[in-house]
């Protein structure tokens, strides 16, 4: 039995124990966006470091200005061996709205799904489940071989879901320790249940919060209604004006530098047979709501967008309150593609809001992140090796694809550490990440571990 097969066998045998460890990780409510969970974020970092030490890594949590980072090393000691940096994150999205969960978000359960067993919990897919596929692959190899095929540094962040404010300073301050030959990023998905994928295009993001203020206090709408400026009305008008009738974003200069997808890539994608209607149908939708004349796949991966992610103002409780609120606010994010400059988009948005304000209103802004889109080379030797390893595990070639989400760390590592990333993950579109009842399929977890066993060996060749 080859070393790879022995390690795969060990991974198979240990699957229940691997799941137990994942459950432990999932039970820690490491919600980075909410400061009430600061202690839990620290606990999750400590848990991850201890788990890495348990399998032989030299690992520890590292203090930052925000939530801690986790860094762990496992070197072969052999010269000339490639050095791989693995990136993931231990923080999770807030679980609200809680009432829509069928089980408690931080009490993971294994349930039967239409495609086999699933692990249901906040973070099951994004990103604790994915992170654990890599750690459990290392565990299986270390158990059967005593060492890893390549030098590995594991680097876990705790602020990925909340703007990563410590990331850039940390990368700068620890550049020597973190620099490797390339990075593996495990925060992406399969093409479909049976087909792996390697992501090479990622949208960037500009995430803004805008607060519109009018009167110095909340007013009674009976007494002031008709004469007083209403910030919710002002905000609604501004948000409504961000798109035109064709679903295009109206900010001046927004599409500057945005290129159409090359005809060849478009043709390849058409060959993949992406079913836009089915994709939308799974979440109860039918008609693409984006730019007229673009396919769903284009709309969600290679076209820039604008979405309002949250809005709040006035009375939101049960029943009625006849109030004119003193302020109203919205969280607005722009997904960016190659060619767009985050700073320009941010400035255009703020300028658009400010110029739209009527008398007596003012706007305040908070930035919750700004990062450019990413394009990773598609012809690198590590990518070819990983693709071959994935083909062995899945029996299918992994297409090179674009992703609609933002993974700013890929750009940060390009810029600061000077290294490119291979983006490989095992999530599925219907994993409900960022939503109630988030799940990770047992098959994703199991075949994810097996895929990494094969990839780590392939990268050594």
In the region spanning residues 289 to 308, those forming contacts with its own copies, defined by CB under 8 A, are 289-291, 296, 299-300, 303, 305, 307-308
CA 305, 308, 312: angle at the middle one, nearest 5?
170
Confirm or reject binding of residue 429 to its own copies (CB under 8 A). yes
C-beta closer to its own copies: residue 303 or 385: 303
Cα 345–Cα 346–Cα 352 angle in degrees, nearest 5: 85
Token digits of residue 91: 């923080």
Is 439 near its own copies (CB under 8 A)?
A: no
For its own copies, which residue of 220, 259, 415, 461 counts as binding (CB under 8 A)? 220
The residue behind tokens 């409780």 is 317
Quick one: 73 or 266, whose CB is closer to its own copies?
266
Length of the chain: 461
Whole-number minimum distance, CB 132 to its own copies, in Å? 20
Q: Which is nearer to its own copies, 393 or 438 (CB)?
A: 438
Q: Which stretch binds its own copies (CB under 8 A): 193-201, 232-240, 250-258, 387-395?
A: 232-240
Helix (H, G, I), strand (E, B) or coil at 163: coil
Residue 179 or 356: the one with the smaller Cβ distance to its own copies is 356
**In sequence order, which residues have a C-beta less than 8 Å from that of residue 50 and are 6 or more positions away?**
59
Is 331 among the residues that bind its own copies (CB under 8 A)?
Answer: yes
Two tokens, residue 21: 């460890």
Cα–Cα distance for residue pair 372/214, rounded to 1 Å: 34
- As a whole number of angstroms, the distance between CA 184 and CA 150 comes to 13
Q: Is 113 in the site for its own copies (CB under 8 A)?
A: no
Nearer Cβ to its own copies (189/382): 189
Q: Which of 73, 104, 143, 243 binds its own copies (CB under 8 A)?
A: 243
Give 59 or 198: the residue with its C-beta nearer to its own copies: 198
For the packed helices 3-13 and 128-145, what is the interaxial angle rounded to 10 degrees? 130
**Residues 392-421 close enough to bind its own copies by CB under 8 A:** 403-406
Looking at residues 48 to 87 of the shown chain, list those that interact with its own copies (rule: CB under 8 A).
Answer: none
157 to 186, contacts with its own copies by CB under 8 A? Answer: 161-163
- Tell me: does residue 441 bind its own copies (CB under 8 A): no
Euclidean distance between CA atoms 293 and 288, whole angstroms: 10
Residue from 432, 447, 449, 450 in contact with its own copies (CB under 8 A): 432
Half-sphere exposure of 219 (CA within 13 A, CB side): 19
Q: Is the CB of 59 or the CB of 433 nearer to its own copies? A: 433
Smallest gap, in angstroms, from Cβ of residue 241 to its own copies? 7
> Which pair of tokens denotes residue 356?
């739209």
Site for its own copies in 266-285 (CB under 8 A): 276, 279-280, 283-285
User: Residue 214 CB, nearest distance to its own copies (Å)?
Assistant: 7
Under 8 Å between Cβ of 143 and 75: no
Q: Is 236 in the site for its own copies (CB under 8 A)?
A: yes
* Dihedral sign, Cα of residue 221, residue 226, residue 231, residue 236: positive
Cα 453 to Cα 435: distance, rounded to the nearest angstrom: 30
Q: Which is nearer to its own copies, 215 or 265 (CB)?
A: 215
Q: Are 332 and 366 in contact (CB under 8 A)?
A: no
CB of 185 to its own copies, least distance (A): 14
Distance CA 53, CA 157 (A): 17
Among 174, 312, 354, 380, indicate the residue that binds its own copies (CB under 8 A).
312
Cα–Cα distance for residue pair 433/125, rounded to 1 Å: 7
93 binds its own copies (CB under 8 A): yes
Q: Residue 125: exposed, middle, or buried by beta-carbon count in 10 A (0-12, 13-18, 19+)?
A: buried
Site size for its own copies (CB under 8 A): 100
In the complex with its own copies, which residue's Cβ is closer, 203 or 385? 203
DSSP state, 417?
I
Q: How far is the CB of 370 from its own copies (least distance, A)?
A: 11
Q: Does 320 bind its own copies (CB under 8 A)?
A: yes
Give me 227's structure tokens.
């004469």
Q: Is 371 in the site for its own copies (CB under 8 A)?
A: no
- Measured from the CB atom, is 318 or 379 closer to its own copies? 318
């Amino acid at each position: 039995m080859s070393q790879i097969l022995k390690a795969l066998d060990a991974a198979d045998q240990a699957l229940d124990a691997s799941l137990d460890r994942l459950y432990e990780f999932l039970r820690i409510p490491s919600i980075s966006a909410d400061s009430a969970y600061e202690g839990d974020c620290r606990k999750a970092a400590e848990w991850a470091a201890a788990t890495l030490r348990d399998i032989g890594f030299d690992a520890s949590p590292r203090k930052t200005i925000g939530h801690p980072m986790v860094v762990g090393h496992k070197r072969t000691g052999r010269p000339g061996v490639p050095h791989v940096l693995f990136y993931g994150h231990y923080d999770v999205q807030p679980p609200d709205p809680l009432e829509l969960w069928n089980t408690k978000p931080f009490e993971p359960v294994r349930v039967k799904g239409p495609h086999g067993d699933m692990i249901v919990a906040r973070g099951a897919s994004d990103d604790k489940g994915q992170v654990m596929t890599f750690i459990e692959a290392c565990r299986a190899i270390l158990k059967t071989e005593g060492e890893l095929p390549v030098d590995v540094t594991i680097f876990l962040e705790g602020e990925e879901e909340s703007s990563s404010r410590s990331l850039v300073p940390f990368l700068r301050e620890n550049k020597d320790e973190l620099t490797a030959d390339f990075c593996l990023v495990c925060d992406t998905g399969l093409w479909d249940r049976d087909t792996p994928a390697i992501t090479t295009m990622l949208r960037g993001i500009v995430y803004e919060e805008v607060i519109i203020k009018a009167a110095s206090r909340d007013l009674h709408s009976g007494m002031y209604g008709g004469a007083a400026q209403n910030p919710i009305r002002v905000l609604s008008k501004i948000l409504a004006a961000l798109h035109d009738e064709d679903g295009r974003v109206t900010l001046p200069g927004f599409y500057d530098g945005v290129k159409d997808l090359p005809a060849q890539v478009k043709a390849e994608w058409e060959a993949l047979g992406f079913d836009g209607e089915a994709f939308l149908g799974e979440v109860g939708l039918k008609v693409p709501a984006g730019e007229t004349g673009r396919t769903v796949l284009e709309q969600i991966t290679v076209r820039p967008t604008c979405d309002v992610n949250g809005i709040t103002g006035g009375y939101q409780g049960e029943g009625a309150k006849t109030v004119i609120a003193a302020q109203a606010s919205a969280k607005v994010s722009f997904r960016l593609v190659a060619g767009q400059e985050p700073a320009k988009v941010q400035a255009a948005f703020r300028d658009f809001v400010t110029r739209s304000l009527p008398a007596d209103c003012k706007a305040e802004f908070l930035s919750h992140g700004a990062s450019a889109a990413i394009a990773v080379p598609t012809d690198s030797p590590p990518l070819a090796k990983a693709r071959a390893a994935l083909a062995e595990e899945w029996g299918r070639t992994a297409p090179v694809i674009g992703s609609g989400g933002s993974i700013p760390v890929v750009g940060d590592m390009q810029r600061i550490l000077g290294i490119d990333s291979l983006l490989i993950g095992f999530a599925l579109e219907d994993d409900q990440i960022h939503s109630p009842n988030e799940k990770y399929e047992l098959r994703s977890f199991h075949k994810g571990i097996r895929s990494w066993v094969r990839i780590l060996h392939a990268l050594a060749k």
